[in-house]
Every structure is written in structure tokens, then in C-alpha cells.
A and B are shown apart, each in its own frame.
Chain A
């Protein structure tokens, strides 16, 4: 019982300390709104989270929803490319040797670098954003799926040989189920990256969403809303990770 109280109380203490630090910082830096002022100026967005007053002047949930939809599309596009690539690299050492250097070079490229290329390729901001999200977020899935295929125990390959399973059956009944936990770890990491990229790409393209809102409010000098956007980004990212973590844990037991 006392342990449960501690489990709840300690994080709350941590949050309180962080807010205190924020308050002290706001006293020192003139332009930084205090926690109270941030709340005062933001409560309209939080208390009416779904109201739509203008193109970017919308409730915070609505803005988060736009961003999430964009992330979902970019993420799905990313893993739709990454999963088959991961399987191919996993089963073929030749392909791995061929493409590993390219992958290692492409992996550390920042979303900010991909976005202009996306704009050149697709001419419009929306597909460019999706492109940046997909290209940045696909690597953990590629690598984890590849590792997962390589980690399949010899026993299972022997089963496939002994039962003389066709290539297709081996893939659906052995390779995919054996790799699933690894794939999901990849998906979770990929989603985390996709969420990081969304803010950057919205800031650059000015599309409605949490990132677009943040950039617009910075330009209109409403600094409290920047803090609101930052906190929203953090909370949503945390929830996404938790959700994927739960899905992953479910698969682990299989």
C-alpha cells in the first residue's frame, strides 16, 4: 500500500520540482512565460480542445489529431517500405553486404535535410512531409526486422526443411511469427522517430498541426503557446510509446 502511494507521489514530486524550476527560470528570463501565465493563456486551447476558430487557431486536441494523422500516414508508408526490405536483408547476406553501406549513410540524415528534397520531388508540402517522415523513421524497422530474421534458431529452419514447407509457407508460418517481436520493437522505435520528424516538418512547411502551431505562435510572439505545444508534443509522444510498448509486450509472450 505504502509502495503504491510512493509510486504515485514520487512522480508528482518530480513534476512539481520541474514546474518550480520553470517558474524560477521565468523570473530570470523576461520573455519566458511563467507556469501560471502559460496556463492562463493556454486554457482556452485545453478547455475547448476540439474547437476550430481558424486555420491554425484550433483546440489542442484537434491540432494533435492533425499531426497524428500525418504521422500515421508517414509511419505506415515508412514501415510498408521497411518491413519487406528488412526481410530481404535478413534472408540474404548478399543483399546485406550490397546495401549496408548505403543504409549506414542514409540513417543519420536529419529530417530537416530530407524535407527540401521532398519538396523538390513532390512540389507540395504534404507529400514532402510524408516523405521525410517515412525516410527517417524506416531504419529501426529495417534493422530490427533484419536482426529478427537472422536470430531465427536453426531448429525452426530444420522444421521447415524436414516438413518440406514451400517458400511461401516457410515465410508465413515460420519467418513472420518468429520475427514478429523484433519487428514490433522496430515499429515502436520508428514511431518515436516519426513523431520527432512531424514537428520539424510542420514547422518548415507551416501545415496545421502541433508543430505548425508552435512555429506560428513563435512568429506571433505568443510564447506561452510555444510551451503549450512543447508539452503537448511530449505527452503525445509518451502516450504513443506506451501504446506501442503495450502491443509489443503482448507479442513477446507468444
Chain B
């Protein structure tokens, strides 16, 4: 049995006309130490899937188990990084990270907890911003704090929900490489599941890419195609990215296997959209700015 076993997940949300099914019968296996990316267009239910995997929400049907243990609520050895940083604005960068360490590692002494928080922030290059509040930091720096908060608890499982989605292209690339470095440097085995809408990002970071395929558009009551309502999403055929690390975006641009992976994922995603080619939601090229609503900043 794989380290993370996802079986037959279904989830619906209440909507205007009854309930809307976002996911149906989603299954997935992830090996220990693997970095898996789930790539899909906006609104395909990726975030819903991640919050089910991380235990933040409970599925209507199906189950998630990690290391043979059924997930109920967020596991103590898991960490989550959100797209909109989700830092507490009344705390400094240091206090945000320390809060996580305090909660996850009560066995450490106060001074050890402080040292751990400082150390982790130094590792993401924020050694001189320890006492800054989130609103004094740029988007990239905030996401570094959020990543430090996740790594500081030394998690076995890392869930990343579009961690670089709200960042500009350049910052995005720097942080991608830093995340890759953090994952590599750690002497422990970390299993990572990342949600993203960038194929390039997935190729740069993952061992395996799973396309998330939106369901076909649903007919509305009058039988006409409605643009908004879609059938529940499904997972496509995964593809392995068997490239040596460290990887760089420049190297991947011309690599044969990367090209193959890119083509596979893009084909899987576009096939589901029928004749219409995606232009807005999907961005195979990280160099182009990602057009998406930027999450509202926390007050």
C-alpha cells in the first residue's frame, strides 16, 4: 500500500440550485518521499481536493489515509501552505512561525522553539525580517514566511495549495527554486502534494504530475449549454517526470522528457475542454504572467 492512499473521494457543496458536485470518485496513490503535482485549470476543484487530502474538510464519500492511518482532521505531521499566505497580520514573521512550532512541538523548550523559528526563517532568507509584520513584507516575502511556517514543524507530509499563485513571474521562479532546495536539503523524507495551474511549475518541482480534468459542461434546465456549471472533475493519467535535480527552467525548456511531459499534461487538460482551446485559465508557460484574481490581502 502506498504512503498516501486516496480512495473514491466525492465532495459536493450547496449551490443556488441544490448541491453541486465538485469531485466524484477521485483515487490516487502517492509513495513516501514523492513530490506529486496536481495540475488543473482554475475552478476545476483542485483546492477542494487538497483540503480533503490535508484533512481540512471531510469528504462526502471515500477516504484518505496516510501511512495506513485514516485521515480525520489535519494530521499532526502535516503542514499546509496556502495560496493567500494566511499569515496572522497581528504577529510578526517570527511570531507567526513560532506559533506553529509551539503548537506542533510542545516537547521542545521555549528557547528551542524560538531557535527553530529563527533558524527556519533564516533558511528562507528572512533573517533580517524576523520582526516585520506581514503587511510590511512583499508578497514573495510573505509566502516565504508561510513556507518557513510549514517547514519549521518538520512535517512528514506537505500540502501546497497553489503556493506561488499570487506572485509575479519572477518572484514565482525564485521561490520555486527555493522550495526545491528546501525539499532537497532536508535530511528527512518529505512527501509533498502540490496544487498548481502551471504545467511548467509542476515539471520543475515534481516526480509525478497528475492532470485534473474538469468535467464536461452541464446542460442547464432549458437544455442549453451553460458556461458555468460543470460535471465533477476527475484525475487524468499521471505522468512521471524522471529528470535529475536540481532542475532549472532554462534547462527544462529544451529537455526532451520535459517537452513530452508538458505535451501529455496539456493534451489531457485541453482534451477535456472539447473543441475550445484554453486561453485564460491554463498557463503552460511560467514566463507569461498568470491571469488570475489575486487573493484579497488579509487585513
Contacts and interface: CB of A to CB of B under 8 A. Distances in A.
A242 interface: no
A156 B99 contact: no
B99 A173 contact: yes
A155 B100 CA distance: 15
Contacts of B273: none
B103 interface: yes
A139 to B, nearest CB: 25
B43 interface: no
Contacts of B54: 162
B67 interface: no
B56 to A, nearest CB: 6
B56 A162 contact: yes
Contacts of A165: 99, 103
A155 B82 contact: yes
A163 B103 contact: yes
A158 B51 CA distance: 10
Contacts of A177: 88, 90
B88 A164 contact: no
Contact of A163 (B84, B104, B299): B104
Given A161-B73, A162-B80, A254 B298 contact: no
A14 interface: no
A178 B90 CA distance: 8
Contacts of A153: 298-299
A164 B103 contact: yes
Contacts of B298: 153, 155-156
Contacts, number: 49
Nearest to A155: B86
B100 A163 contact: yes
Nearest to A174: B88
Contacts of B73: 161, 164
A159 B149 CA distance: 11
Interface string A163-184: 1111001000110011010000
Given A153-B298, A155-B82, A161 B74 contact: yes
B289 interface: no
B89 interface: yes
B86 A156 contact: yes
B74 A162 contact: yes
Interface string B120-159: 0000000000000000000000000000000000000000
B76 interface: yes
* Residues of A in contact with B, size category: 10 to 19
A165 B104 CA distance: 9
B56 A158 contact: yes
B90 A164 contact: no
A19 to B, nearest CB: 44
B79 interface: yes
Interface string A130-163: 0000000000000000000000010110110111
Interface string B55-98: 01000000000000000011010111010101011110000000
A155 B88 CA distance: 9
A173 B103 CA distance: 12
A162 B103 CA distance: 10
A174 B88 CA distance: 8
Contacts of A169: 99, 102-103
Contact of B86 (A158, A173, A178, A180): A158
A142 B99 CA distance: 29
Contact of A159 (B76, B86, B299): B86
Nearest to B133: A254
Contacts of A158: 56, 80, 82, 86
B79 to A, nearest CB: 7
B218 to A, nearest CB: 27
- A-B CB proximity, top 7 nearest: A177-B90, A155-B86, A162-B80, A163-B103, A163-B100, A159-B86, A254-B90
28 contacts: A153-B298, A153-B299, A155-B84, A155-B298, A156-B86, A158-B56, A158-B80, A158-B86, A161-B56, A161-B73, A162-B54, A162-B74, A162-B78, A163-B99, A163-B103, A164-B73, A164-B76, A164-B103, A165-B103, A169-B99, A169-B102, A173-B99, A174-B88, A177-B88, A177-B90, A178-B90, A180-B90, A254-B89
Given A153-B299, A158-B86, A163-B104, 18 more contacts: A155-B82, A155-B84, A155-B86, A156-B88, A156-B298, A158-B82, A162-B56, A162-B78, A163-B100, A165-B99, A165-B103, A169-B99, A169-B102, A173-B88, A173-B99, A174-B88, A178-B90, A180-B90
